[in-house]
Structure 1
Amino acid sequence: MFVGVGAARVRDLFKKAKAQTPSIIFIDEIDTIGRARSGTSVFHESDERDSTLNQLLAELDGFGTNTGVIVLAATNRGDILDPALLRPGRFDRHIQLELPNQTERKAIFEVHMKPLALDADVDVGMLAAQTPGFSGADIANICNEAALIATHRQKELIQKQDFLDAIDRVIGGMEKRSKIISPEEKKRIAFHEAGHVTTSWFLKHAQPVHKVSIIPRGKSLGSAWYLPEEHQIVTKSEFFDALCTALGGRAAEEIFFEEISSNAVDDLEKATKQAYSMVMNYGLSDVLRNLSFYDSTGKLRQSLHKPYSEKTAEKIDEEVQAIIDKAFATSKEILTTHRERVENLAARLMEKETLQKEEIKEILGERVTA
């Protein structure tokens, strides 16, 4: 960008808005120009961004009481915005947009389904219940994918199964049945996924499993789908049971093959991050009690100094390892206790490749619930 172009565009934007009152100025991804100024950069790009930001601040300060212009902005990185942008008289009203709940997801589905030709078996409420944590864009993507799947299958109407397959595709990626997997690898994957499912099945605070498959999707060789309850608070027991579930696949490999593999890399990454969050952010450690190093401002990411000593860092690492070890031992204990059921579940997976909740229940029995 040429020097001064950004500031000139801001001036021109506000001039046009004031000439066409009442009007609304909406700035999407405002962190692009509204990032906090460092004051130390010698790079031209940062200088130009600072110039643009300064002009925006000047325009915001130039409003009277009844200008007829409303200025809105959006960002998912509010933590890196320049404090000057957020002062009274500027962007001083902040609205947090959360992910839609089940009722809201149902309404969003209904909007995106209006132009679609649907079969009578499509249950919007069921689809909303199947998609916790999905955004409006995700739901729109599901509807588009369902239409594509139905078209590929040469159907005149989009059916429930098309939507369910679309959800799976959005979550895990497209099926890759052409991927070459040896019989030994398939067996290992089946036991790995059976380990996840069985571990969660016999933990009171684990998320309920909905489906399990050993059909490769995206980068994954197998997947288990869970339907988490929608609540705002996660207890220490729920965190721990989630760790046990994540480590269930690696535990199953160790028990049934007496040798571990690289198949658990994603599980280990998730478990490690979650254990560190428990210790460093949520104060759920028995050693570092009631302490949190959570960085709500985002400023510590740019700092070379940690907000704790080297001794505390060692304690954090030791506590994380202790939590992981305890969760892994719990997973192994569950799988050893229910060894025959794990074997039966893995065998059924190798036979059918995908199992729904009711089929899992036939093998594992009634699920343990809180």
Structure 2
Amino acid sequence: MKIQKNSKKPLIYYYAVVIVIMMLANTFLLPMILKKEISPVDYGTFLKQIESGQVKKVEIQDNQIGFSALNEEGKEGLYITGRLEDPELVNRLYSANVTFERIIPKENSPLVDFLIYWILPMVIFTFLGQRFIGKIQGKMGGMGNAMTFGKSNVKVYVEAQTGKTFADVAGQDEAKEALQEIVDFLHNPQKYKEIGAKVPKGALLVGPPGTGKTLLAKAVAGESKVPFFSISGSEFVEMFVGMGAARVRDLFKQAQEKSPCIVFIDEIDTIGKSRNSGGLGGNDEREQTLNQLLTEMDGFDADKGVVILAATNRPETLDKALLRPGRFDRRVPVELPDLRGREDILKVHGKKVKLAEDIDFNAIARATSGASGADLANIINEGALRAVKFGRRYIVQSDLEEAVEVVIAGYQRKNAVISMKDKLTIAYHEIGHALVAAKQNHSAPVHKITIIPRTSGALGYTMQVEEGEKVLMTKEQALDKIATYMGGRAAEEIVFNTITSGASNDIEQATKIARAMVTRFGMSEKFGMMALETVNNQYLGGDASLIVSAETASKIDEEVLHIIKACHERATSILEENKEKLHDLAKYLLEKETITGEEFMTILA
């Protein structure tokens, strides 16, 4: 593998040039500047200045006389004149009360002059230069020093510093089970060698952000009680060509010296993206780094106890050579937790705070479907902050419920100025959602309705909470969801005979479900079980792209529109049949601003 050489001159070249310039300036330029400040005068002028009392101080040397005197403007200046044979000079100076002295020059040795005028400035400048360059290197991550280019900047944790075990990881039972073999191998490698089994060289942790991939890697190291190397993929790539490959070599060299150990590379997709021949000069810095990583993973034996763990949320972009057996042998999914997992995660984080005795973690877990471990940790922290805000010494259930709403919709905008007419419209809009949901057979129960605006931009919202965990969605449930989204707009049309911009998010969510029904779920009679769309970045939002012709795309739009219109008509029909309840519930919500699901169902019944 070729590494391009940098054509620029080394830093020491410029360093030497600056030192030479400074020494020349010290030898020639500085004396010239100082010399211009002393004005030469003739001896007669010197005598006249003594008689007039302008001279203040005189220094008599062998060949010249230096003195300070007042000029015509009354300012003191330095002057110099030649020395003549004048026996009366001392008497003149004494009579004029001038301070004078005889200067006998001391001749320094050439060695002393060389040390003072050449070596001392060089030492001072070198010291200051090193301090200055050191600070620049600190801000640039050490890039300025050629001796540190190949260092990996890896963080090494010993057992006492990680302090993480599998007990600190909740909601990822399958992932922990898959990694348990690695822990067992690092504890008892001999029993694997006896049967001829080889432990996986590497394990790739894949999943959405915030699900605990880094925590799992630290827990493996904590359980194994071995050193833990941690580095981000972005730290390998530098502006200098070849530095990433050098850092990979340094990382594996350190790991083999401290084996058995665990090396964790976070965000490996930064350097592990699939190589392609498109474009000019495909042998770029990232490709060199990836090639070196592949070489290093082939070059060490897993039996020595070096295990590579890596994490990514974009596994589809990784190079195939990185995923083949013998490199990352095992792929460990770290998915979003289910209902039981969310409850366990809440309990783990709840141990770090003071809680009331009647906390119901199951209710919070049911209200946070789709939340990651990081989201749930944030909910516990938000609940603690709210408890402190209201002067409590422990967290109560209402703190956690409000924290869920803060994470989902943002903080309450209590000072927002909304007219009574708009409030009434918002109340009917939210009751429209809730009423349509309650009158359908496949909708989740209504948990809470509010018309208090939030910092996320929502002027109000209706929260529905499933009674249990659902991993599949039927066609009937999808249609009921779309109809529920249409309930807000339908209520505005029925009561006010107009429409507002408040349904923008409802329209967006309903369209996403309807399009997925047609293109991915096979829930359309027109297209049946035909794949029309492919999902990209499933762990980062799941953006989809059509894989059909323009003519078929037009038919897809027609089918999506047909589904949405049918659901809108169903929502309108439900509200027309329950118009009296719609008015009663809207007036009650307008008065209370926030009502629970129980209050809603009581009035509806």
Check whether TM > 0.5.
Answer: yes
Counterpart check, 1:208 vs 2:445 = yes
User: Radius of gyration: which is bigger?
Assistant: 2
User: Which whole-Å CA distance do the structure 1 matches of 2:346 and 2:377 have between them?
Assistant: 7
Counterpart check, 1:109 vs 2:349 = no
Query: Which residue of structure 1 aligns with residue 274 of structure 2?
Result: 36
Cα offset for 1:245? 0.8
Query: Residues 306 and 201 from structure 1, CA distance in 2 versus in 1: closer, same or farther, beyond 3 angstroms?
Result: closer
Query: Which residue of structure 2 aligns with residue 96 of structure 1?
Result: 333
User: SS of 1:282's equivalent?
Assistant: coil
User: Which whole-Å CA distance do the structure 1 matches of 2:459 and 2:274 have between them?
Assistant: 42
Query: Which residue of structure 2 aligns with residue 11 of structure 1?
Result: 249
| Corresponding residue to 1:221 among 454, 459, 462 | 459
> 2:534, 2:547 within 8 Å by CA — same for their partners in 1?
no
User: SS of 2:304's equivalent?
Assistant: coil
Counterpart check, 1:257 vs 2:496 = yes
Query: Which residue of structure 2 aligns with residue 141 of structure 1?
Result: 378
Query: Which residue of structure 2 aligns with residue 235 of structure 1?
Result: 474
Query: Which residue of structure 1 aligns with residue 420 of structure 2?
Result: 183
Query: Which residue of structure 1 aligns with residue 505 of structure 2?
Result: 266
| Corresponding residue to 2:297 among 60, 71, 77 | 60
1:246-285 Cα distance to aligned partner (Å, 9 max, x none): 1111111111111111111111111111111111111111
Provide the TM-score with structure 1 as the length reference. 0.92
Query: Which residue of structure 2 aligns with residue 131 of structure 1?
Result: 368
Cα offset for 1:296? 5.0
User: Which whole-Å CA distance do the structure 2 matches of 1:265 and 1:326 have between them?
Assistant: 18
User: SS of 1:175's equivalent?
Assistant: coil
Output the amino acid matched with 2:264.
F
Could you tell which deviates more after superposition, 237-246 or 66-75? 66-75
User: SS of 2:569's equivalent?
Assistant: helix
**Superposed CA RMSD:** 2.0
User: Which whole-Å CA distance do the structure 2 matches of 1:125 and 1:230 have between them?
Assistant: 11
Query: Which residue of structure 1 aligns with residue 122 of structure 2?
Result: none
Cα offset for 1:115? 2.6
- Between the two proteins, the alignment pairs up a number of residues equal to 359
Query: Which residue of structure 1 aligns with residue 582 of structure 2?
Result: 342
User: SS of 2:472's equivalent?
Assistant: coil
Cα offset for 1:124? 2.9
> 1:150, 1:162 within 8 Å by CA — same for their partners in 2?
yes
Query: Which residue of structure 1 aligns with residue 64 of structure 2?
Result: none
User: Which whole-Å CA distance do the structure 1 matches of 2:546 and 2:430 have between them?
Assistant: 38
Identity, % of aligned positions = 45
Output the amino acid matched with 2:502.
N
Query: Which residue of structure 1 aligns with residue 400 of structure 2?
Result: 163
Cα offset for 1:43? 8.6
1:195-227 Cα distance to aligned partner (Å, 9 max, x none): 111111111111222111111112111111111
> 2:534, 2:546 within 8 Å by CA — same for their partners in 1?
no
User: Which whole-Å CA distance do the structure 1 matches of 2:281 and 2:568 have between them?
Assistant: 49
Query: Which residue of structure 1 aligns with residue 286 of structure 2?
Result: 49
Output the amino acid matched with 1:292.
A
Cα offset for 1:352? 0.6
1:294-352 Cα distance to aligned partner (Å, 9 max, x none): 425669xxxxx953222211211110110111111111111111111111111111111
User: SS of 1:254's equivalent?
Assistant: helix
Could you tell which deviates more after superposition, 58-67 or 348-357? 58-67
Counterpart check, 1:121 vs 2:358 = yes
Query: Which residue of structure 2 aligns with residue 79 of structure 1?
Result: 316
Counterpart check, 1:359 vs 2:596 = no
> 2:294, 2:322 within 8 Å by CA — same for their partners in 1?
yes
If asked which structure has higher relative contact order (CA below 8 Å, sep 6+), I would say: 1
> 1:80, 1:297 within 8 Å by CA — same for their partners in 2?
no
User: Which whole-Å CA distance do the structure 1 matches of 2:323 and 2:533 have between them?
Assistant: 22
User: Structure 2: any 5+ residue segments left out of the alignment?
Assistant: 1-237, 539-544
Provide the TM-score with structure 2 as the length reference. 0.57
Query: Which residue of structure 2 aligns with residue 302 of structure 1?
Result: none
User: SS of 1:349's equivalent?
Assistant: helix
Query: Which residue of structure 2 aligns with residue 25 of structure 1?
Result: 263
Cα offset for 1:105? 2.1
> 1:207, 1:242 within 8 Å by CA — same for their partners in 2?
no
Output the amino acid matched with 2:381.
N
Output the amino acid matched with 1:83.
K
Cα offset for 1:65? 4.6
Could you tell which deviates more after superposition, 62-71 or 139-148? 62-71
User: SS of 2:448's equivalent?
Assistant: strand
User: Which whole-Å CA distance do the structure 2 matches of 1:240 and 1:257 have between them?
Assistant: 26
User: Which whole-Å CA distance do the structure 2 matches of 1:253 and 1:109 have between them?
Assistant: 39
1:172-205 Cα distance to aligned partner (Å, 9 max, x none): 1101111111111111111111111111111111
User: Which whole-Å CA distance do the structure 1 matches of 2:444 and 2:528 have between them?
Assistant: 26
Query: Which residue of structure 2 aligns with residue 322 of structure 1?
Result: 562
1:21-55 Cα distance to aligned partner (Å, 9 max, x none): 111111122222222233324599x9222222222
User: Which whole-Å CA distance do the structure 2 matches of 1:348 and 1:253 have between them?
Assistant: 17
> 1:142, 1:166 within 8 Å by CA — same for their partners in 2?
yes
Larger % of strand: which? Answer: 2
1:48-93 Cα distance to aligned partner (Å, 9 max, x none): 2222222212222223251311111111221222222211212231
User: Which whole-Å CA distance do the structure 2 matches of 1:63 and 1:294 have between them?
Assistant: 42
1:100-157 Cα distance to aligned partner (Å, 9 max, x none): 2222222222221223122223233333333332221111111111110011111122
User: Which whole-Å CA distance do the structure 1 matches of 2:537 and 2:279 have between them?
Assistant: 19
User: Which whole-Å CA distance do the structure 2 matches of 1:352 and 1:246 have between them?
Assistant: 23
Output the amino acid matched with 2:491.
A
Query: Which residue of structure 2 aligns with residue 248 of structure 1?
Result: 487
